[in-house]
């Protein structure tokens, strides 16, 4: 679809860390008065849509404030309350993830097809409590046609990066295998260190 033809769109924000919201001020439809943008996702996303403009961006780094946007931007507040959202024939559900300050995974279902978006999530399965959480993620991803996961680290790197809110690709693969996922995208996604980059190149 050409950008000029976009009039109604849905923006799902999993969380408001800078790497996920910094591009919002450069999203052309928000400057078009014919655009209607419906926002939902993690509860923090409701403030995140203004955050890039009215925090650092609006403090001498960007010429436009949130109030200057021409598009109609409104909150849905359905996924943020952990309630399913239906758009046309697609059902969307959310799940809290293990990430600093909170994040949501999203599952999109239409007919027999399922896509799960579950980045920024630290998978652990060693302790009893972590094992129960891992099982919860397996259930959420069960029989997905596509899983877009977090696989930030190698198994060696994760040992020194525990608590940072990301997973190693081996544990992510185990999740996908247990959930009978048909296709993994974004794997491996290990870009933090030069050693990771060397490994990928090899």
Domain ranges of the chain: 1-81, 84-202
Is 84-202 CATH 3.40.50.2300? no
> Exposure string (b/e) for 115-137, b if CB count within 10 Å is 16 or more?
bbbbbbbbbebeeeeeeebbeeb
pLDDT digits (tens, 9 = 90+) for 140-186: 999 999 999 988 888 888 788 777 767 888 888 999 999 999 998 86
pLDDT digits (tens, 9 = 90+) for 73-95: 998 999 999 999 999 999 999 99
pLDDT at res. 195: 55
Q: How far apart are CA 9 and CA 131, in angstroms?
A: 37
- Kindly tell me the burial class for residue 171, based on how many C-beta atoms sit within 10 Å of its own C-beta (0-12, 13-18, 19 or more): buried
pLDDT at res. 10: 93
Angle (deg, nearest 10), helices 169-178 and 128-141 = 60
What pTM was computed for the model? Answer: 0.82
């Amino acid at each position: 679809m050409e950008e000029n033809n976009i009039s109604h769109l849905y923006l799902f924000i999993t969380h408001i860390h800078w790497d996920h919201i910094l591009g919002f001020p450069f999203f052309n439809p928000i400057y078009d008065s014919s655009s209607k943008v419906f926002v939902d996702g993690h509860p923090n996303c409701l403030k995140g849509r203004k955050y890039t403009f009215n925090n650092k961006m609006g403090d001498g780094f960007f010429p436009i404030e949130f109030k200057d946007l021409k598009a109609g931007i409104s909150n849905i507040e359905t996924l943020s309350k952990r309630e399913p959202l239906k758009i046309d024939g697609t059902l969307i559900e959310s799940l809290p993830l293990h990430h600093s300050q909170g994040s949501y995974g999203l599952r999109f279902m239409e007919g027999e097809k399922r896509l799960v978006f579950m980045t920024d999530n630290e998978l652990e399965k060693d302790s009893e409590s972590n094992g129960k959480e891992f099982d919860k993620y397996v259930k959420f991803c069960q029989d997905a046609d596509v899983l877009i996961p977090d696989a930030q680290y190698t198994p060696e790197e994760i040992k020194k990066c525990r608590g940072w809110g990301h997973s190693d690709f081996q544990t992510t693969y185990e999740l996908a295998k247990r959930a009978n996922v048909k296709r993994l995208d974004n794997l491996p996604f290990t870009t933090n260190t030069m050693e990771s980059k060397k490994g990928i190149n090899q």
